[in-house]
Structure 1
Amino acid sequence: MTTQEPAASIRIDDRRARGARRPAAAVLLSLLAALWPSQARAQQQRQDGQAAPQAPEGGAAVPRGPGGAIVTPPAPTAAPAVKATPPRALNYTPPEYPPEAEKQGREASVTLQLDIDRDGRVKHAVVVESAGHGFDESALAAAQKLEFEPARRADGTPAPARILYRYSFTLKTASPPPAAGEPARSAESLRGTVLASGGDVPLAGATVSVARVAGASAATPAAPPELTTDEGGAFAFAALPPGRYQVTIAAPGFEPLSVEEALAPGEQLEVKYRLLPQGDGLEVTVRGKRPPREVTKRTIEQREINRIPGTNGDALRSLQNLPGVARPPSIAGLLIVRGSGPQDTQTFVDGTQVPLIYHFGGLSSVVPTEMLDRIDFYPGNFSAKYGRVQGGIVDVALRSPKEDGKLHGLAQMDLIDARVLLEGPVPFLENTRFMVAGRRSYIGESFGPVLEAAGAGVTQAPVYYDYQVLLETEPTPSARLRLTFFGSDDALELLLSDPAPNEPALSGNVGLHTAFQRLQLRYDHELTDKDRLDGVLAIARDDADFGIGPIYFQLDLKTISGRLEYARRISKGTVFNAGLDVFAGLYAVNLRAPGPNRPGEPPNQPFSTRTLQEVSRDGEFFYPAAYAELELAPTPRAKIVPGLRLDYQDLNQQVTVSPRVNGRFDVVPGFPRTTVKGGLGVFHQPPQFQEVIPPLGNPGLKSTRALHYAAGVEQELTRHIEASAEGFYKQLDELVVGVNRPGSIQLDYQNVGSGRVIGGEFLLKYKPDDRFFGWAAYTLSRSTRVPEPGEPERLVSFDQTHILTVLGSYRLGDGWEFGARFRLVSGNLVTPNVCNVNEQSCDPYRTNALFYAPTGTYTPIPFSGPNSERLPAFHQLDLRLDKTWKFKTWRLSAYLDVQNVYNNANSEAIQYNYNYTARQYVTGLPILPSFGMRGEF
């Protein structure tokens, strides 16, 4: 078909949604209006003659939920001194014109009801006025890509809102050929940009029309008489004959503008029009996204969350592609952030801490991607809201169940695991929704035969599963209540028929089991325009069991944790945040392990041949904390966040004080924005349970301390491309170091260690659009430790000097999407027992081990100091291909995720022969393809 690209106009409908869809919400809003009669707005009549209930003053954007109001301009009779602002579109995503409707010459308008959250994202869209013929589906798909400046209360606080949004589908008419003798026409006679006055913000979807001025030449314009601006506010009229034209520009919430323009023969006129807000309409205020309370906050959005190549569609595994995150060993599944240890980074799910983020082997995360709303990652200098950790913070937010009143579900299977999810409304309970999900692996069926072939008898095949149940409701229009139960379980048991050569007593069953459960209650409430209360309470249980032959370790934790935060906007540029953070519970530890060497025994004997000793311990702990922060904005371009956190740990009876301050300043506001940022702070981390609980640990231990320093810059290059650079330095003090204590089973733990981390992070990111997303991240760092005073400084085993990650994903069209990821990382550090024969300094005649006749084993002699040799560099290419088929009521998708495409043999460790006369590299995973299918409705 030779028709032009279909034009779609956008309008924000100032009418409220029909009360028939949510009768209880309408009644509630009416009651609220009655409770605040002096502030209630005069009702505006619908275009269809019906009146809609109004929200109280300050509620131009009532918080989320079915009771939320559609943004309505205030009535002239009740105009407040300071206005609230409704959501404002930041982009325009034209919907695809349904092919069948286009062939049939159909035009239509579709009105949607959009729920917009505090960050300006469309959380939910539902059709209010349907057009059929594929228009509804196209409009809904386009609406999910919209971005808004969030609604703001009179004091500037971001708030959720509900608005009506209309897409108009209009077919363009083709331009006829020029008549004989008609003057030549310019390719683009009139082009320009429509902006909002006062901030030069592009207005997408504005209507621009042209008409011949009376008395002008009789020639008529062949171009369409009306166009709509694109996402950049641009428009262009082609093939307009010379002459004078009346140009009229209109946009919802703005005063219309009408100007006269003259087009000269053979010339192109380029203009820029600025529209003023209507006096009683929508107030347009140019504000950027609210700056974070941290120096650096990296957020992975829904568009990116399950399309990153090499992650097998697992969102949480994508964290390993961000700046500052080191590459863990191939099967570890750990998070190593800015040179800190894996235990120094905490993970939260909806505000509750979980003990682990990945199932064993790092194959999958403990929370399915389909339930995630976003992932916030703080590599350092985080807010006083977080404590008891000195590395980084990962805060995972679960999404809300869909609110369209329908039942939705999905089922997915790949070569590793299978999962299901179901969500929808709870019968007989208004404004209440549920979501249930579960996942189970079947890698045991695949890996079991491999393990048996390697000589290990499989008693219990490796298996993991996780489960989630979520209920959510809005008890009031300004509050949300969520009850969630989720957990994870990993188990593996093998039978070793032949012990290792250097540990003859280690044989029999080898078992590993980890599990946790969380019952969580979360409550968020917008108390007033200036006050907000957020709270989360969780009851939890953690289990960890490890055994090999007669040796075992068991840990059982039963805990209760909670956080309550109150936020108060004191003035236009001042917000006060205060909170309580409590972590308490019961612990039980059981251990059977080899004791120290008996008098007269040489120190280099096998660990497993020592006399076994048992230790059992149980008790309770109480870790309360309080914090306070000020968010100060002395100017619209600057933000300073000083904070203070106070922690107490009863196991070692210590109080720690952690002051922190972060700041940001827009050197160049607006576009292209340039922002400088920086921060410094004190971060304390209590010792691990086994380090402080007697008789295993030392109750006199103190918390370790880290001083974080960071400074950086962010630069917008284009509307979609942003670059950032940040330098960081961490001074680590009072680190816990364990040394052998003569005659005792446990180590002697003391706060005698120190260390430092220095580095820089660089990120070039293309923000997700309709087709593409991607980024290039590079980290340069050095992490060292001094175990005891007087000892030399040395690199830690997980130090990686260079970390480069480049990835991207592109939608090819027709349901196809292709992505790639390439990583280049410095090799991990090891402590060698045999020198590398490829080095000239290697002495092949060196004695590498001592033979002990009673056990017939060799004990290695370290070749050099700890972490003195770096393995070869790691490099790997991963590819991902997705295909989606859309049907009338459901959707089918398939993906192929191939890791290590060119099958590079990356070195992960060093393996030695039985008498330590030779060595070879242990390589990681070879090329690993994974194929998956998903159906959803």
Structure 2
Amino acid sequence: MHRSEARQQRCRTPPSKPAGRLGVTACLLALLTTSASPALAQQPSPPASGSAPPASPTAAQAHADAPASPDGAKDQPTPPVAKNYVPPDYPPEARAAGKEATVTLQLDINRDGKVLRAVVVEPAGHGFDEAATAAAEKLDFEPARKPDGTPFAARILYRYTFSLEPEKPKDDPATEPREPGVSTQRLSGIVLAEGEIPLAGASVTLTPSQADASPLALTTDETGVFAFPTIPPGKYRLAITMPGFDPLEVLEEVAPGEQIEVKYRLLPVGDGLEVTVRGKRPPREVTKRTIEQRELLRIPGTNGDALRSLQNLPGVARPPAIAGILIVRGSSPQDTQTFIDGTPVPLIYHFGGLSSVVPTEMLEKIDFYPGNFGAQFGRGMGGIVDVALRSPKEDRIHGLAQVDLIDARVLVEGPVPFLKGVRFAAAGRRSYVDAWLGPALTAAGAGVTQAPVYYDYQFMLEADVTPSARLRLTYFGSDDALELLIDEPSPNEPALTGNIGLHTAFQRLQLRYDHELTDKDRLAGVIAFGKEDLDFGLGPFYFLLDNLSVSGRLEYTRRFFQGVTLNTGLDIVWNDATVNLRAPAPGRPGEPPNQPFSTRTVQELSVSNVLYRPAAYAELELVPTPRARLVPGLRVDYAKDTQQWTVSPRFSGRYDIVQGFPRTTAKGGVGMYHQPPQPQEVIPPLGSPNLRSNQAIHYSAGVEQEITRQVEVSGEMFYKQLDSLVIGTPQENGSGTEYKNLASGQVVGGEFLLKYKPDDRFFGWAAYTLSRATRTDRPGEPPRLLNFDQTHILTVLGSYRLGHGWEFGARFRLVSGNLTTPSVCNVQDVTCDPARTNALYHAPSGVYTPIPLTGPGSERLPIFHQLDLRIDKRWKFTNWQLSAYLDVQNVYNNQNTEGIQYNFNYTARQFVSGLPILPSIGMRGEF
């Protein structure tokens, strides 16, 4: 029988009778090739497992069974063959609780036999998933080969079985050491370097599992051979050390009468696999929050929409009602950038924030950086949302259809017929709020011409051009429209009649290329051609934007040696925009400031401009010790509209105060960030061409602490210093607005997250953010709160699988009220003066123009709180499955305040409530 363990090959002489095998077992389940015909790996019979856990279980020993080649393999590709075996650590909590489990992993193995990625496909929870993933990334394989012997990349399933070994009686001969000379067991082997070079003088230490037994030590001879000729049967820990090579430690078990010959291979220092915690690469940024697939689909209050789940993370404020925007750490929405597979997009939510522009079913993951992001991102001072689209399934044709009260969607994916290694995905979604809301509003006399309606669509073709290179062509887009009819003009605006309409749309044609050049070199690039349209109409006035864009990103990664990796790249954005505007002109000198804007002189403009903003960046990932990771970076940007070069140095670091479990990590970073002005602020005739970029410096420091294998807590303090902010100033001649870099500001706060990582039953977290964001509009003026400041943000959510296809979840939010600028004081405030003049009367039009009570953002609305519930049910059939959900927002129908409404002459006011209880029912079928 042939086995492979820990960079070894062994030949066993069968003992007189089989010995029981207990502990952690691993076997190759199946081989799914990516560029050649699939070859199936034979699955060996698993070893026997103990029927019940002992009171004091021993450490589990590991075995790996390599697959045998199928019959007639001469004209078939051969699957990967394990060259080593790495035993996973048995989770202490699970072992103490007597839990056993099986974890199935999907391993991506390159043409050199290295494990590039390990993903759990059949999780077990209780720490088993993390232990299996961490061990699997240390595996080494003989690569899969074509019939002509050419190696190629492959994807396999690999299973770890965690089982506890019952404690044997003390008089069991299999555990009792035997007297020297009586036993006939033998352990011998050879130690090799890469290239089958024998290593002479390597230290080999064999330590028996018995506590009172002494270790045996020797060195290899000139041919790299060693031998322990007579040893008792039992378990041993074998350690090999050699200067210039990574140490190797494996577990061995010798059965009575067994003769073992083993071949071990040592890896030179710097050429070994880089293994990280839980199989995940440490972030290049101080804080990177990744939402896993199960969490994306089941967060209550989001209707199963993955991108809406971002609003539940620390540092993200609650947006105003029906506003599809992201507010990160007190910054304005335009300060946060969103990317889809590396391509910037102008918006991430449909109208009103009802849904995101990419359906959850198309997503692989969402990476969210609330601040201190790396040098690969720029042109923003807030946060970064990086959405990754997943690869289409390639085993067969799959599909789904879903309907709920808001929209309907379909998805079809699978291999392209007659094109080997090519797969596709096509999806589309349309809302039908207009189908039931439009007639209801018309019947109520609301004068609706078109109720809100949105579309989005995605099409993807993906191919493996070589065993280590992937090419993806994607086309995606979004379209939103809303139109209302004004039957009678408002008293405040007597000249304003007609329709109010808003239409936004964008499309992207994207080509993405990823190539694993060697084990140390990687090249990734994406280029996208885009189009954006924005049409806004208000009676006789309009704003029309037509923009063509090209964006591209190319990154090259080089690992020079262990602990030193360079990431360098280019990031380019080009825009050709045309704006047509018909709007009231600014007030002329001497005109009263309180007259209706619709009665002013009308101005018409048509402006075309080409903008380009290239950038280059470089970033080093330094791992001076296994505990530390340091990431210095530098980014250089140029903006054609301001003709300004900006240099943005950045640095972040992480240090494991306690390695292993429970891990304690300290982290921190500082970096400079530049954001060009908005086009309307800098392009004449509306803008001022002498502007500079807005500037921010991010500081942050925090700690991450594992409590159990499933529970972790993190805290982070942050500070953002804002300078050279653009602000509009009315021109002295009254002809318009002049923009200058006069404003400054700061954001200070802390984020805290207590998270229970998803297991087979439960996931959830509690997130709290405390922050204060202020701004000084001009030098010498007092600071004021930023418009989107929210002092307290608390979110608690969780979801639990009840069994039999049922899952129940809840979310509770408690948030400080939004800021508003009142025109009438609150009568409940002791400082309120009821005799104050709140408005000016305009005799020609007969209307009142309000006078702001104080400066902007001077009053905070009442506290927002809301409970959302979700329940899911799934039915599985032979070839398909059906699921249904009920998602109820604002369960106890709290009348949350979203604004203030005034009477006609601004002598009284009342609060305006947000959405009431809002249930949503959905059905989904999948095959």
Q: Does 1:768 align with 2:763?
A: no
On the 8 A contact 1:119/1:149 being kept in 2, the answer is no
Structure 2 partner of 1:605: 595
2-structure distance, mates of 1:604, 1:815: 62
Q: Which amino acid aligns with 2:252?
A: P
Superposition deviation, residue 849 in structure 1: 0.9
Render the CA deviation track for 1:58-89: whole Å, top value 9, x for unaligned: xxxxxxxx999635207xxxxxxxxxx88969
Q: Which amino acid aligns with 2:68?
A: Q
2:68 is aligned, of 31, 43, 47, to 47
Q: Does 1:324 align with 2:338?
A: no
Structure 2 partner of 1:72: 82
Superposition deviation, residue 45 in structure 1: 9.2
1-structure distance, mates of 2:350, 2:562: 46
Instruction: Give the alignment of 1:88-487 within 5 angstroms.
Output: 115=108, 120-122=117-119, 147-149=133-135, 151=137, 162-166=155-159, 204-205=162-163, 210=168, 213=171, 255-257=251-253, 279=264, 287-288=276-277, 289-404=280-395, 406-453=396-443, 455-487=445-477
Structure 2 partner of 1:903: 893
Number of residue pairs aligned between Structure 1 and Structure 2: 784
What secondary structure is seen at the aligned counterpart in 1 of 2:906? coil
On the 8 A contact 2:491/2:847 being kept in 1, the answer is yes
1-structure distance, mates of 2:776, 2:638: 27
1:660 is aligned, of 650, 654, 658, to 650
Counterparts in 2 of 1:92 and 1:884: CA distance versus 1, 3 Å: farther
Q: Does 1:541 align with 2:528?
A: no
2-structure distance, mates of 1:659, 1:792: 31
Counterparts in 2 of 1:848 and 1:86: CA distance versus 1, 3 Å: same
On the 8 A contact 2:86/2:136 being kept in 1, the answer is yes
Superposition deviation, residue 795 in structure 1: 0.3
On the 8 A contact 2:108/2:116 being kept in 1, the answer is no
User: Could you list the runs of 5+ residues in structure 2 that have no partner in the other structure?
Assistant: 1-20, 41-64, 95-101, 142-151, 176-231, 239-248, 257-261
Structure 2 partner of 1:583: 573
Render the CA deviation track for 1:497-518: whole Å, top value 9, x for unaligned: 1333322222210110000000
2-structure distance, mates of 1:119, 1:842: 66
Superposition deviation, residue 23 in structure 1: 4.6
2-structure distance, mates of 1:317, 1:110: 31
Structure 1 partner of 2:677: 687
2-structure distance, mates of 1:68, 1:444: 57
Q: Which amino acid aligns with 1:708?
A: H
On the 8 A contact 2:571/2:614 being kept in 1, the answer is yes
1-structure distance, mates of 2:798, 2:121: 27
Superposition deviation, residue 662 in structure 1: 0.4
On the 8 A contact 1:347/1:394 being kept in 2, the answer is yes
What secondary structure is seen at the aligned counterpart in 1 of 2:308? helix
On the 8 A contact 1:471/1:482 being kept in 2, the answer is yes
Structure 2 partner of 1:105: none
Superposition deviation, residue 211 in structure 1: 7.0
Structure 2 partner of 1:234: none
Counterparts in 2 of 1:444 and 1:87: CA distance versus 1, 3 Å: farther
Instruction: Give the alignment of 1:510-659 within 5 angstroms.
Output: 510-659=500-649
1-structure distance, mates of 2:528, 2:174: 75
> What's the TM-score once normalised by structure 1's chain length?
0.78
On the 8 A contact 1:15/1:47 being kept in 2, the answer is no
Q: Which amino acid aligns with 1:122?
A: V
Structure 2 partner of 1:11: 25
Q: Which amino acid aligns with 2:339?
A: F
1-structure distance, mates of 2:70, 2:848: 93
Structure 1 partner of 2:770: 780
Superposition deviation, residue 92 in structure 1: 13
Q: Identity, % of aligned pairs?
A: 64
2-structure distance, mates of 1:779, 1:290: 26
1-structure distance, mates of 2:104, 2:365: 28
Render the CA deviation track for 1:760-792: whole Å, top value 9, x for unaligned: 000000011110000000000000111111111
2-structure distance, mates of 1:687, 1:110: 51
User: Could you list the runs of 5+ residues in structure 1 that have no partner in the other structure?
Assistant: 1-6, 28-43, 55-65, 75-84, 95-108, 126-136, 169-203, 218-244, 261-276
Structure 2 partner of 1:184: none
What secondary structure is seen at the aligned counterpart in 1 of 2:790? coil
Query: 436-445 or 9-18: which moved more?
Result: 9-18
1-structure distance, mates of 2:89, 2:77: 22
On the 8 A contact 2:368/2:384 being kept in 1, the answer is yes
Counterparts in 2 of 1:166 and 1:842: CA distance versus 1, 3 Å: closer
Render the CA deviation track for 1:332-354: whole Å, top value 9, x for unaligned: 11100001100000000000010
On the 8 A contact 2:132/2:160 being kept in 1, the answer is no
On the 8 A contact 1:16/1:70 being kept in 2, the answer is no
Counterparts in 2 of 1:51 and 1:633: CA distance versus 1, 3 Å: farther
Structure 1 partner of 2:216: none
1-structure distance, mates of 2:842, 2:160: 82
Counterparts in 2 of 1:51 and 1:477: CA distance versus 1, 3 Å: farther
Superposition deviation, residue 14 in structure 1: 5.8
Q: Which amino acid aligns with 1:151?
A: E
> What's the TM-score once normalised by structure 2's chain length?
0.79
1-structure distance, mates of 2:527, 2:559: 25
Q: Which amino acid aligns with 1:578?
A: T
2-structure distance, mates of 1:618, 1:534: 33
Superposition deviation, residue 256 in structure 1: 3.4
Q: Which amino acid aligns with 1:677?
A: K
On the 8 A contact 2:103/2:129 being kept in 1, the answer is no
1-structure distance, mates of 2:78, 2:293: 24
Structure 1 partner of 2:58: none
1-structure distance, mates of 2:444, 2:727: 37
1-structure distance, mates of 2:708, 2:124: 28
2-structure distance, mates of 1:110, 1:829: 50
1-structure distance, mates of 2:32, 2:297: 36
CA RMSD between the two structures: 3.7
Superposition deviation, residue 741 in structure 1: 2.2
Q: Which amino acid aligns with 1:357?
A: I
Superposition deviation, residue 206 in structure 1: 6.8
Q: Which amino acid aligns with 2:478?
A: S
Superposition deviation, residue 570 in structure 1: 1.0
